C-alpha cells in the first residue's frame, strides 16, 4: 500500500493531462481498495461517519493555527495526537476516509466526462480539483506516528479542545481581549469581527464587507471552506450595535461602508502574542494553560447562540456551515434561559436577517445523506471499497 502511494508520488502525482490525472487517481484508489480487501474492512456506520466528521473538524481547526506547507503542518498537527497510538490511528483514519471519498467523487465525475463534449467547461475545473486532492490523499496515507512525534519533539503539547479551553476562561475574557487589541491599527477590526461573527481566519483574507443599515451593521462574508458541497460560498446577516465594542462600531458608522481584511497567518500570530500578555503560560506548558486562538471565538459564538435557544440549522448558517450536523462539535452547551452560564453573552446577531448561499442541510439527515451518496456511487458502477 505505502509503496504504491510512494511510487505515484515519485512519478509526479498531479500530472497536467486528464488521462494522467485519472491514471494517478485510479492507481492510488486501487492500492487503497486492495489494502481494505486484505483487511476485510466493512463500510463505516452512520455513527462512524459522524465521528469521522468530528475528528476532521478538529484537524482542520488545528491546521488553521499552524504555518507552513500542507504536509509539514499536517505532520505537526498530528503530532499533537501521536502521544497515544490508538488516538493517532483514529484521527488518521478519519483523514484517510475523507481524502479517499473526495478522490472517488472527483474521479467519477472526470471519468463520466471522457469522450463527451464539455460545453460547460467542467473538465478543467475537475482536473484541477483532483490534482489538489491526490497529494492530500497521499499525505493522509503516508502519515507515520514516529515522524509526527519527532516533529513536535519534547515540547509537544496535546491538542487542546476548544470546549475545554472555554470552560477554563474567566468571565469577561472576550471584553478583555477586545480592549487589549483596540490600539492595533492593523488587527483591531479583524479581531472584533472574529468575536462578533465567529469567522474562520481565512475568510478575513478575502475581505469582510460591513455596511450600516440604520443603526445595525450588515456583514457579508465570503466563505473560506467551500468544497464538494461543504461550507457556504457566502453568508450575510445584521449585527446590533452591542455586537461590536464602541470603537469598532463608531469606525463603521463614520465610514458607512468598509471592507475588513487580514492575513490569516499574521492574525493568528498576533492573537498568540496578545494571549501571552493576557494569560502568560508556564514554561514548560501545563495542561491548564490558556491559549487564545482565532477558532476559540467561533466556538464561543456557537455557545452564545445555543444558550439563546437558536437551533442547529440557524447556527450553522451564521458560521458558514452547509450542514447543521457540524454544529454539534462546536462550543459548550451551557444551558438556556435562566440556566444559561454567566460565561455566555446575549446574541447580537439579528436572527431573521441571516442569509446563506444555499440551504443548510438538517442534522437529522446528515448521516443518511452520506450513505445515500455511497449507494448512488455503487449503482453507478464505481467501486466503494475503501
Domain carrying residue 12? 2-156
Question: Which among 156, 175, 210 is the end of a domain?
Answer: 156
Is 378 part of a structural domain of the chain?
Answer: no
For the cut 60, the answer to whether the pLDDT of residue 248 exceeds it is: yes
Q: Which residue has the higher pLDDT, 14 or 235?
A: 235
Residues 73 and 182 grouped into a single domain: no
Burial level of 156, CB count in 10 A (0-12/13-18/19+)? middle
CA distance linking residue 196 with residue 301, whole number of Å: 7
pLDDT in tens, 53-103: 889 988 988 888 888 888 899 998 998 888 888 889 899 999 999 999 999
- The pLDDT score that the predictor gives to residue 193 is 97
Per-residue exposure over 283-308, b if at least 16 CB sit within 10 Å of its own CB, e if not? eeeeeebbbbbbbbbbbbbbbbbbbb
Is 373 part of a structural domain of the chain?
Answer: no
Residues 81 and 172 grouped into a single domain: no
- The pLDDT score that the predictor gives to residue 288 is 79
Q: List CB contacts of 229: < 8 A, sequence separation 6 or more.
A: 322
Q: List CB contacts of 140: < 8 A, sequence separation 6 or more.
A: 74, 92, 95, 96, 98, 99
Residues 220 and 278 grouped into a single domain: yes
Reported confidence tier of residue 317, pLDDT bands at 50, 70, 90: very high
Interval 7-25 mean pLDDT? 65
Question: Which among 156, 175, 199 is the end of a domain?
Answer: 156
Interval 180-200 mean pLDDT? 96
- The pLDDT score that the predictor gives to residue 198 is 93
Question: Which among 134, 156, 178 is the end of a domain?
Answer: 156
For the cut 50, the answer to whether the pLDDT of residue 247 exceeds it is: yes
pLDDT in tens, 157-188: 445 577 788 888 999 999 999 999 999 999 99
Residues 167 and 148 grouped into a single domain: no
Residues 207 and 111 grouped into a single domain: no
Residues 141 and 272 grouped into a single domain: no
For the cut 70, the answer to whether the pLDDT of residue 281 exceeds it is: yes
Is 380 part of a structural domain of the chain?
Answer: no
Is 169 part of a structural domain of the chain?
Answer: yes
Residues 174 and 112 grouped into a single domain: no
CA distance linking residue 151 with residue 143, whole number of Å: 12
Crossing angle for the helix pair 70-79 and 46-64, nearest 10 degrees?
110
Residues 305 and 279 grouped into a single domain: yes
Residues 211 and 359 grouped into a single domain: yes
Interval 38-44 mean pLDDT? 78
Q: Could you give the number of structural domains in the chain?
A: 2
- The pLDDT score that the predictor gives to residue 6 is 62
- The pLDDT score that the predictor gives to residue 374 is 44
Percentage of the chain modeled with pLDDT above 90: 40
The region of weakest confidence among 207-216, 243-252, 327-336, 338-347 is: 338-347
Q: Report whether 219 contacts 238 (CB < 8 A).
A: yes
The domain that contains 340 carries what CATH number? 1.10.443
Instruction: Report CA-CA distances (Å) from 182 to 216, 277, 323, 366.
Output: 21, 14, 34, 41
Residue whose entry in the numeric block shows the C-alpha cell 500530472: 15
Is 308 part of a structural domain of the chain?
Answer: yes
Reported confidence tier of residue 115, pLDDT bands at 50, 70, 90: confident
Interval 94-122 mean pLDDT? 85
For the cut 80, the answer to whether the pLDDT of residue 340 exceeds it is: no
Ranges of beta strands (E only) in the chain are 208-213, 216-222, 234-239, 257-260, 349-356
| Helix (H), strand (E) at residue 76 | helix 70-79
For the cut 90, the answer to whether the pLDDT of residue 195 exceeds it is: yes
Average pLDDT, the chain: 83
Is 377 part of a structural domain of the chain?
Answer: no
Most confident among 35-49, 71-85, 220-234, 240-254 (mean pLDDT) = 240-254
Residues 333 and 193 grouped into a single domain: yes
Give the pTM: 0.70
Omega before residue 380 within 30° of 0, cis = no
For the cut 50, the answer to whether the pLDDT of residue 242 exceeds it is: yes
Is 230 part of a structural domain of the chain?
Answer: yes
For the cut 50, the answer to whether the pLDDT of residue 25 exceeds it is: yes
- The 3-class secondary structure across 328-382, one letter per residue, is HHCCCCCCCHHHCCCCCCCCCEEEEEEEECCCCECHHHHHHHHHHHHHHHHHCCC
Interval 274-288 mean pLDDT? 85
For the cut 90, the answer to whether the pLDDT of residue 337 exceeds it is: no
The region of weakest confidence among 23-27, 348-352, 357-361 is: 23-27
Is 375 part of a structural domain of the chain?
Answer: no
Residues 248 and 337 grouped into a single domain: yes
- The pLDDT score that the predictor gives to residue 5 is 61
Question: 318: which DSSP letter?
Answer: H
CA dihedral 259, 264, 266, 269 (to 10 degrees): 130
Interval 111-129 mean pLDDT? 80
Residues 113 and 40 grouped into a single domain: yes
Amino acid at each position: 500500500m505505502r509503496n504504491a502511494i510512494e511510487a505515484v508520488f515519485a512519478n509526479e502525482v498531479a500530472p497536467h493531462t486528464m488521462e494522467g490525472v485519472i491514471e494517478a487517481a485510479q492507481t492510488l484508489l486501487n492500492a487503497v481498495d486492495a489494502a481494505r480487501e486484505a483487511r476485510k474492512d466493512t463500510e463505516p456506520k452512520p455513527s462512524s461517519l459522524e465521528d469521522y466528521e468530528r475528528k476532521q473538524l478538529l484537524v482542520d481547526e488545528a491546521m488553521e493555527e499552524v504555518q507552513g506547507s500542507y504536509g509539514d503542518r499536517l505532520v505537526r498537527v498530528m503530532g499533537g495526537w501521536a502521544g497515544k497510538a490508538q488516538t493517532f490511528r483514529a484521527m488518521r483514519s478519519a483523514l484517510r476516509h475523507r481524502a479517499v471519498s473526495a478522490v472517488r467523487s472527483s474521479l467519477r465525475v472526470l471519468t463520466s466526462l471522457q469522450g463527451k463534449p464539455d460545453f460547460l467547461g467542467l473538465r478543467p475545473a475537475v482536473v484541477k480539483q483532483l490534482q489538489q486532492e491526490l497529494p492530500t490523499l497521499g499525505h493522509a496515507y503516508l502519515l507515520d506516528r514516529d515522524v509526527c512525534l519527532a516533529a513536535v519533539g519534547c515540547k509537544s503539547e496535546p491538542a487542546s479542545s476548544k470546549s475545554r479551553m472555554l470552560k477554563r476562561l474567566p468571565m469577561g475574557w472576550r471584553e478583555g481581549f477586545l480592549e487589549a487589541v483596540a490600539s492595533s491599527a492593523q488587527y483591531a477590526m479583524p479581531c472584533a469581527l472574529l468575536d462578533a461573527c465567529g469567522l474562520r481566519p481565512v475568510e478575513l483574507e478575502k475581505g469582510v464587507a460591513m455596511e450600516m443599515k440604520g443603526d445595525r451593521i450588515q456583514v457579508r462574508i465570503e466563505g473560506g471552506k467551500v468544497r464538494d458541497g461543504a461550507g457556504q460560498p457566502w453568508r450575510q446577516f445584521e449585527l446590533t450595535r452591542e455586537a461590536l465594542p464602541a470603537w469598532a462600531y463608531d469606525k463603521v458608522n463614520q465610514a458607512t461602508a468598509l471592507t475588513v481584511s487580514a492575513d490569516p497567518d499574521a492574525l493568528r500570530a498576533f492573537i498568540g502574542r496578545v494571549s501571552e500578555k493576557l494569560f502568560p503560560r508556564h514554561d514548560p506548558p501545563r495542561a491548564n494553560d490558556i491559549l487564545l486562538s482565532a477558532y476559540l471565538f467561533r466556538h464561543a459564538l456557537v455557545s452564545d447562540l445555543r444558550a439563546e435557544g437558536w437551533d442547529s440549522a440557524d447556527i450553522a448558517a451564521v458560521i458558514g456551515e452547509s450542514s447543521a450536523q457540524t454544529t454539534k462539535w462546536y462550543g459548550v452547551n451551557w444551558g438556556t434561559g435562566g440556566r444559561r452560564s454567566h460565561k455566555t453573552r446575549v446574541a447580537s446577531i439579528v436572527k431573521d436577517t441571516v442569509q446563506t448561499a444555499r440551504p443548510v442541510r438538517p442534522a437529522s439527515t446528515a448521516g443518511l445523506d452520506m450513505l445515500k451518496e455511497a449507494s448512488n456511487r455503487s449503482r453507478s458502477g464505481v467501486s466503494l471499497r475503501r
